[in-house]
């Protein structure tokens, strides 16, 4: 079983959901992002999702777009992301990478998989790669022992849902709302339905993302999902902070709140 799978199992045994926290690599700087992700782990985030910044992030809302732009303007390269993954993996927390497809294809799919595995990454979340187009990635992830997380959506048909989860390894990502990333006042009603539809066709753990921003929301999602994925709300802590130290402090506070939330699932 993959390292992520082990972590999910442990959380499940403890009667709680796993907390996955997302941060763009190189935001606000390479060192700054390592510090941010380390702080998240120390404050209770179980799994770090490192997003490779991309010029055209169509699944991301304004917060992650801005953070990605800042990272790219700072000159972060894909090779830096590998270094960041290595540093964060050294904390002991599993590190999963989220990336749009073009940077992987440009790096070389097999070389990317090799370097990701040797940096200690567990696998990839691919928001704009569906299994239908993923032959090269299926082969490379098999060759290098990496997990594959494809997305399922409320609009997925039953046939696509089962096809997609069959191609996943590690965990499945359920997009809770029809829309892009960004913390929302309410998480969605569509999510529990989607999760139970997915459960009918897979035993893999299911993470729910898009829209979670508070401990209470994390508790709600933990009530029906195995993993609670939080991005924009964490990124905003750093984005809105007047200084890097303030940003880290805000990150720790929110991470702790979310960690508390996933330990108190509302059922």
State which residue, 12 or 106, has the beta carbon closest to other proteins. Answer: 106
Torsion (CA) 21, 241, 66, 107 in degrees, nearest 10: -50
Radius of gyration of the chain (CA): 17
- Of 125 and 254, nearer to other proteins (C-beta) is 125
Q: Could you please report the per-residue DSSP string of 187-245?
A: --SHHHHHHHHHHTT--S-EEEESS--SHHHHHHHHTT-SEEEE-HHHHHHHHS-SSHH
The active-site residue, picked from 46, 60, 80, 147, is 60
> How far apart (Å, rounded) are the C-alpha atoms in residues 3 and 120?
10
Who's near 159: CB < 8 A, 6+ residues apart?
A: none
Tell which positions 185-214 bind other proteins, by CB under 8 A: none
Give yes or no: 60 in active site.
Answer: yes
Strands (E), 15-138: 18-24, 47-51, 95-98, 121-125
Residue 145 lies near other proteins (rule: CB under 8 A): no
Min dist. Cβ of residue 72 to other proteins (A): 6
Q: Give least dist CB 198 to other proteins, A.
A: 12
| 67-86 positions binding other proteins, by CB under 8 A | 69, 72, 77-78
What tokens does 147 get? Answer: 């997990």
Q: Which of 49, 51, 115, 147 is the catalytic position?
A: 49
Task: Mark 158-187 with x for binding to other proteins (rule: CB under 8 A) and - for no binding.
Answer: --x---x----------x-xxxx-------
Assess 110 for contact with other proteins (CB under 8 A).
Answer: no
Look up residue 50 and give its two tokens: 């490192």
- To other proteins, the closest distance from the beta carbon of 126 in angstroms equals 10
Decide if residue 61 touches other proteins (CB under 8 A).
yes
Instruction: Give whichever of 25 and 222 is closer to other proteins, judged by the CB atom.
Output: 25
Q: Using the rule CB under 8 A, is 102 a contact of other proteins?
A: yes
Tokens of 247: 């940003």
Give the DSSP letter string of 125-181. E-TT--GGG-HHHHHHHHHTT-EEE-EE-TT--HHHHHHHHHH-BS-EEEE-SSS-S
Does 216 sit near other proteins (CB under 8 A)? no
Q: Total residues contacting other proteins (rule CB under 8 A)? A: 42
Q: Does 65 bind other proteins (CB under 8 A)?
A: yes
Q: Does residue 56 bind other proteins (CB under 8 A)?
A: yes
Residues within the interface to other proteins (CB under 8 A): 54-59, 61-62, 65-66, 69, 72, 77-78, 101-107, 127-130, 132-133, 150-157, 160, 164, 175, 177-180
Catalytic residues: 49, 60
């Amino acid at each position: 079983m993959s390292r992520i799978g082990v972590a999910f199992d442990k959380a499940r045994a403890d009667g709680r959901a796993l907390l996955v926290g997302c941060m763009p690599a190189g935001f606000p700087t390479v060192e700054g992002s390592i510090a941010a992700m380390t702080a998240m782990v120390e404050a209770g985030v179980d799994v770090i999702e490192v997003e490779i910044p991309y010029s055209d992030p169509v699944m991301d809302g304004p917060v992650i777009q801005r953070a990605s732009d800042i990272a790219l303007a700072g000159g972060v390269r894909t090779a830096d992301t590998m270094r960041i993954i290595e540093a964060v993996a050294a904390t002991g927390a599993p590190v999963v990478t989220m990336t749009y497809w073009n940077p992987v294809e440009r790096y070389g799919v097999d070389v990317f998989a090799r370097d990701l595995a040797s940096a200690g990454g567990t696998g990839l979340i691919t928001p704009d790669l569906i299994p239908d187009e993923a032959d090269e990635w299926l082969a490379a992830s098999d060759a290098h022992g990496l997990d594959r997380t494809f997305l399922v959506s409320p609009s997925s048909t039953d046939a696509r849902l089962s096809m997609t989860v069959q191609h996943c390894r590690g965990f499945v990502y359920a997009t809770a709302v029809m829309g892009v990333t960004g913390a929302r006042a309410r998480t969605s009603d569509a999510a529990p339905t989607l999760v139970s539809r997915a459960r009918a066709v897979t035993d893999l753990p299911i993470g729910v993302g898009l829209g979670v921003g508070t401990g209470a929301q994390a508790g709600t999602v933990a009530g029906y999902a195995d993993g609670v994925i939080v991005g924009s709300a964490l990124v905003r802590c750093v984005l809105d902070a007047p200084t890097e130290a303030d940003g880290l402090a805000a990150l720790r506070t929110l991470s702790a709140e979310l960690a508390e939330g996933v330990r108190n699932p509302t059922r």
